[in-house]
Amino acid sequence: MPIRIADTREEVRSPERRGILETFSFVTEQPQLIHLHTEEFSAVCPGTGLPDIGTLDVWYIPSDRCIELKSFKMYLFSYRNEEIFQEPVADLIFEDLWAVLAPRYMRLTLRYNIRGGILTTVHLARGDISALPLETQRLLP
């Protein structure tokens, strides 16, 4: 089997996948930090064809929408058979969540299980945390 070393983001990006994500209206006076966590995220390594399994954490402060959790689970499962490296898949997940939620702030961390003795963690963040109350800023990782 030939080794495939490529950013497959454009092959994997899909409006249908983003369409899996559902949201619901949510407005609050006190900003809430919402933390989503799973230790069962998986995709396929394009280089080896082996499954990559990792821990995904998303922290977000909603503007006026929250993610519906069943749709988020189905969205994540849709990557299970996709050949994509960790960095591009983290980028796609972040882009899709940002697009459907338009949050005040969001941070994503994707840590893949150790393979070959190397632990890799990807972090992405967007939003103006200085616009948040200090109490909320202190909650952020």
Mind telling me the catalytic residues? 45, 52
The alpha carbon dihedral of 71, 29, 138, 96 has a sign of positive
Considering only CA atoms, give the Rg of the chain. Answer: 16
Going 37 to 124 to 76 to 21, the CA torsion angle's sign is: positive
Three-state DSSP at 40 gives: strand
